[in-house]
């Protein structure tokens, strides 16, 4: 009887299937390069194996060629050795499926190499024009960005995507243990949650220029008929969501702990290393918080801190990517130490933060480009000084002036010594970045919420459903939003969020 095809640990047969239907299962997907090498290194692999991947480099010698094959499953490709005759079509960038066996390597740089006996498939690649060649000096960043569809062939971007994927897993595992329900939220909404006017408006229409071939309509659809007065009021405007928070509050009006990881869109004009126009946000919300406001805010900060710790801890234990990124960003191990320090992240009020910043500015007049002033937002330079110099680790800054914050946040009772009203809110600041997350308690009382909406000039009709949440069984609740690409950057040492997602869309536009 021929041996059964070997299954990868990550493709297990569906055990619930009846034996006869299980027999009809298709063959397993190819083994990953990393899994095959790991099995061979522990002497548990088969005598023969098959590897699929892309050729990164080829070095031809008289009787034999050495190539580097990679499928992104580990940092760095593996050395494959091809006898003359089998190497002819191999060029940098081509895809290949190679059958052969692992042997001990006599060369430097690897313990094992893969001796190829058969090249069963090759998707060719023109090495002359291939945008991702293997060069000593590396590929310039603008070329990498312009070729986002191919840059994942490189170690850093591929490892970043694997980190992103594992972060997702760690987040889900953490929240599941904490009793949070994961929910999917609408992407098209009728509200500008943050009220900052940075929305993308959604309008129906046909694309400018030719439609993509596969979707091209037979002929242009006719425009929608003009509204007649009989049709009633026009439908509300539609936007791409800037934050799912308002909808998440509706969820926690029934399921008291909920979270989502969702795409958010902001028409950011600012071309900074921290801003994208399309980014992902982890948002969590919890109901039935403590009646005491500072304690309730502490509860929300603890939710944010504990998920950051769980994710960071998981990523630190991905040995190959942690070593790869630490090599490129020597400060990274220290960053992990700070994120995972045993003591809770310090919590500092905005008023105290401004006092500290002002004292520092007085002692060092050229420390900041912007003078720290009570009532003004903290600049990135202020946030970074607090995290990098003052605390040397992550910290929460709480209770910002109400005038700086959106309508939905719960205002604090007026405190003595403060120039103006503050709000029960926080920003999580971290070294090397500044703001990673922002959250607050929500105004849970109907009359006060309506007054805040009036003060912000909001259309009460459009937010009627949101006010309902206060009318029918309101609770003391709160939550936060965390920029996913910013966290990816923090855990990989990447300083620009454009490198923290496969296809970034930022102020400069994108060809993808
Ligand atoms: O502070 P923000 O604007 O908070 C909210 O949207 C709340 N409604 C969230 C909530 O309470 N559920 O955004 C939250 C985080 C920021 O701290 C930042 O990390 C990230 O989202 N963020 C961006 N990341 C990349 N590009 C942008 N343009 C971003 N804008 C915000």
User: Where do the structural domains in the chain lie, given as residue ranges?
Assistant: 33-130, 157-202+236-500
Tokens, residue 353:
């933060």
Cα 157 to Cα 505: distance, rounded to the nearest angstrom: 16
Percent of the chain with pLDDT over 70: 91
CB–CB of 264/247 below 8 Å? no
Is 320 close to ligand 1, i.e. is its CB under 6 Å away? no
DSSP state string for 47-86: SSEEEEEEEEEEEE-SSEEEEEEE-SSSSS-EEEEEETTT
What is the average pLDDT value for the chain, to the nearest integer? 90
pTM: 0.91
User: Once rounded to an integer, what is the mean pLDDT over residues 434-457?
Assistant: 96
Atom of ligand 1 nearest to the CA of 480: 11
Distance 307 CA to ligand 1 centre (A): 16
- Residue 219 banded pLDDT, cuts 50, 70, 90: very low
* Distance of CA 438 from the midpoint of ligand 1 (Å): 6
Average pLDDT over residues 376-394: 97
Q: Is 33 exposed, middle or buried (0-12, 13-18, 19+ CB in 10 A)?
A: buried
Regarding the beta carbon of 276 and ligand 1, being less than 6 Å apart is answered: yes
Q: How many angstroms does the Cα of residue 44 sit away from the middle of ligand 1?
A: 47
Residues 6+ apart with CB under 8 A from 391: 346, 348
Cβ partners under 8 Å of residue 435, min gap 6: 274, 380, 383, 427, 428, 429, 483, 486
Which atom of ligand 1 lies nearest, measured to the CA of 275? 26
Token duo for residue 94: 């081509």
| Among 89-93, 217-221, 281-285, 432-436, the least confident range | 217-221
Burial class from Cβ neighbours inside 10 Å (0-12, 13-18, 19+) for residue 203 reads: exposed
Q: What per-residue confidence (pLDDT) applies to 229?
A: 55
CA distances for 46 relative to 7, 146, 275, 442, angstroms = 12, 41, 48, 59
Which of these ranges, 134-138, 210-214, 375-379, 413-417, has the smallest mean pLDDT? 210-214
Q: Between these two residues, 317 and 222, which has the higher pLDDT value?
A: 317
Determine which residue's CA is closest to atom 18 belonging to ligand 1.
Answer: 483
Residue 291: phi and psi, rounded to 5, are -70, -30
Report whether residue 351 contacts ligand 1, using a CB cutoff of 6 Å. no
Q: What is the best residue among 183, 243, 267, 487 to mutate for testing ligand 1's pocket, by most ligand atoms within 8 Å of CB?
A: 243
Give me 331's structure tokens: 């400060």
Give pLDDT, residue 29: 87
| Averaged pLDDT, 62-72 | 95
Q: Is 268 in the pocket of ligand 1 (CB under 6 A)?
A: yes
pLDDT at 231: 66
Position 461 scores a pLDDT of 85
pLDDT at 508 over 90: no
Distance 248 CA to ligand 1 centre (A): 15
Burial 469-495 (b: 16+ CB within 10 A, else e): bbeeebbbbbbbbbbbbbbbbbbbbbe
Separation between Cα atoms, residue 452 and residue 484, nearest integer Å:
30
Contact in structure between 435 and 404 (CB atoms under 8 Å): no
| Residue 436 Cβ < 6 Å to ligand 1 | yes
Higher pLDDT, 447 or 221: 447
Nearest CA to ligand 1 atom 26: 275
438 lines ligand 1 (CB under 6 A): yes
Residue nearest to atom 17 of ligand 1 (CA): 437
Weakest mean pLDDT among 32-36, 326-330, 384-388: 326-330
Q: What whole-number percentage of the chain has pLDDT above 90?
A: 77
User: Would you state the pLDDT for residue 136?
Assistant: 85
Q: Is the beta carbon of 439 within 6 A of some atom in ligand 1?
A: yes
> Which whole-number Å values give the CA distances from 468 to 26, 117, 251, 464, in the listed order?
52, 69, 13, 6
Higher pLDDT, 231 or 190: 190
E-only strand ranges, 186-320: 188-189, 239-240, 257-265, 278-286
Instruction: Answer yes or no: is the C-beta of 193 below 6 A from any ligand 1 atom.
Output: yes
403 alpha carbon to ligand 1 midpoint, in Å? 18
Q: Six-digit token pair at 57?
A: 């480099």
Q: Which of 223-232, 318-327, 453-462 has the lowest mean pLDDT?
A: 223-232
Give the residue-averaged pLDDT of 158-179.
97
Question: Residue 444: pLDDT above 90?
Answer: yes
* CA 9 – CA 25 distance, rounded (Å): 16
Q: Is the pLDDT of residue 428 over 90?
A: yes
Average pLDDT over residues 271-287: 96
DSSP assignment of 373-414: -TTSPPPHHHHHIIIIIIISS-EEEE--BGGGS-TTBPBPPP
- Whether pLDDT at 217 is above 60: no
pLDDT at 49 over 50: yes
CA terminus-to-terminus distance, the chain = 50
Ligand 1 within 6 A of CB of 437: yes
504 C-beta closer than 6 A to ligand 1: no
Percent helix, percent strand, percent coil in the chain, to nearest 5? 30, 20, 50
Judge if the beta carbon of residue 278 lies within 6 A of ligand 1: no
Residue 279 beta carbon below 6 angstroms from any ligand 1 atom: yes
| Cβ 212 vs Cβ 260: under 8 Å | no
Ligand 1 pocket residue status of 478, Cβ below 6 Å: no
**Under CATH, to which class is 33-130 assigned?**
mainly beta
pLDDT of residue 17: 52
pLDDT at 459: 85
Atom of ligand 1 nearest to the CA of 428: 17
Residue nearest to atom 7 of ligand 1 (CA): 481
Residue nearest atom 22 in ligand 1 by C-alpha distance: 483
Superfamily for domain range 157-202+236-500: Bira Bifunctional Protein; Domain 2 (3.30.930.10)
pLDDT on residue 227: 53
Assess whether the C-beta atom of 435 lies below 6 angstroms from ligand 1.
yes
How much is the average pLDDT of 215-226?
48
Question: Which pLDDT belongs to residue 21?
Answer: 57
CA-to-CA separations, 31 to 41, 85, 245, 278, in angstroms, rounded: 15, 25, 41, 34
Give 234 Cα–ligand 1 centroid separation in angstroms. Answer: 31
Q: How far is the CA of 260 from the centre of ligand 1 (A)?
A: 13
State the distance from the centre of ligand 1 to the C-alpha of 437, rounded, in angstroms: 6
Cα 457 from Cα 233, distance rounded (Å): 20
- Chain CA centroid to CA 435, Å: 15
- Residue 209 backbone dihedrals phi, psi, to 5 degrees: 75, -175
Q: Whose CA is nearest to atom 11 of ligand 1?
A: 480
| Alpha carbon nearest to ligand 1 atom 27, residue | 275
497 within ligand 1 shell (Cβ under 6 A): yes
How much is the pLDDT for 18? 55
Residue 245 Cβ inside 6 Å of ligand 1? The answer reads: yes
Residue 471 three-state SS: helix
Q: What span, in angstroms and rounded, lies between the C-alpha atoms of 113 and 199?
A: 53
Residue of the CA atom closest to atom 23 of ligand 1: 483
CB-CB contact of 241 with 189 (8 Å): yes
**Ligand 1 contacts CB of residue 275 (under 6 A):** yes
């Amino acid at each position: 009887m021929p041996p059964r095809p070997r299954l990868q640990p990550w493709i297990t047969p569906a055990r619930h299937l009846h034996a006869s239907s299980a027999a009809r299962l298709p063959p397993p997907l190819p083994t990953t390069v990393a899994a095959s090498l790991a099995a061979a290194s522990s002497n548990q692999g088969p005598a023969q194996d098959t590897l699929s991947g892309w050729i990164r480099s080829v070095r031809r010698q008289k009787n034999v060629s050495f190539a580097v094959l990679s499928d992104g499953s580990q940092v760095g490709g593996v050395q494959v050795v091809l006898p003359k005759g089998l190497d002819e079509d191999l060029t940098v960038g081509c895809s290949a499926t190679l059958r052969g066996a692992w042997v001990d390597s006599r060369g430097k740089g690897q313990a094992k190499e893969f001796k190829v006996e058969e090249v069963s498939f090759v998707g060719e690649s023109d090495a002359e024009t291939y945008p991702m060649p293997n060069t000593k000096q590396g590929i310039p960043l603008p070329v990498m960005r312009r070729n986002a569809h191919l840059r994942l062939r490189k170690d850093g971007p591929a490892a970043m995507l694997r980190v992103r994927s594992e972060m997702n897993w760690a987040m889900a595992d953490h929240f599941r243990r904490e009793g949070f329900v994961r929910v999917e939220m609408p992407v098209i909404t009728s509200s500008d949650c943050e009220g900052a006017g940075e929305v993308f408006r959604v309008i129906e229409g046909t694309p400018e220029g030719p439609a993509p071939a596969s979707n091209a309509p037979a002929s242009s659809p006719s425009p929608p008929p003009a509204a007649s007065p009989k049709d009633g009021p026009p439908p509300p405007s539609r936007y791409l969501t800037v934050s799912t928070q308002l909808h998440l509050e509706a969820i926690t009006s029934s399921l008291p702990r909920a979270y989502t990881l969702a795409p958010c869109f902001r028409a950011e004009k600012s071309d900074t290393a921290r801003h994208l126009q399309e980014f992902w946000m982890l948002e969590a919300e919890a109901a039935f918080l403590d009646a005491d406001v500072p304690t309730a805010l502490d509860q929300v900060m603890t939710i944010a801190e504990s998920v950051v710790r769980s994710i960071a801890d998981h990523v630190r234990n991905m040995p190959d990517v942690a070593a790869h990124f630490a090599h490129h960003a020597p400060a990274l191990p220290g960053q992990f130490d700070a994120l995972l320090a045993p003591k809770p992240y310090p919590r500092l009020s905005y008023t105290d933060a401004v006092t500290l910043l002002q004292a520092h500015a007085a002692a060092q007049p050229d420390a900041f480009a912007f003078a720290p002033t009570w009532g003004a937002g903290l600049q990135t330079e202020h946030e970074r000084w607090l995290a990098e110099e003052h605390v040397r680790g992550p910290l929460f800054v709480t209770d910002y002036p109400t005038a700086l914050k959106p309508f939905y946040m719960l205002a604090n009772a007026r405190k003595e010594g403060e120039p103006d009203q503050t709000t029960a809110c926080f920003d999580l600041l971290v070294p090397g970045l500044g703001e990673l997350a922002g959250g607050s308690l929500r105004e849970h009382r109907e009359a006060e919420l309506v007054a805040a909406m009036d003060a912000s000039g909001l259309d009460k009709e459009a937010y009627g459903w949101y006010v309902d949440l206060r009318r029918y069984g309101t609770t003391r609740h709160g939550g936060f939003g965390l920029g996913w690409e910013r966290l990816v950057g923090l855990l990989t040492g990447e300083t620009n969020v454009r490198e923290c997602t496969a296809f970034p869309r930022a102020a400069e536009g994108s060809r993808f």
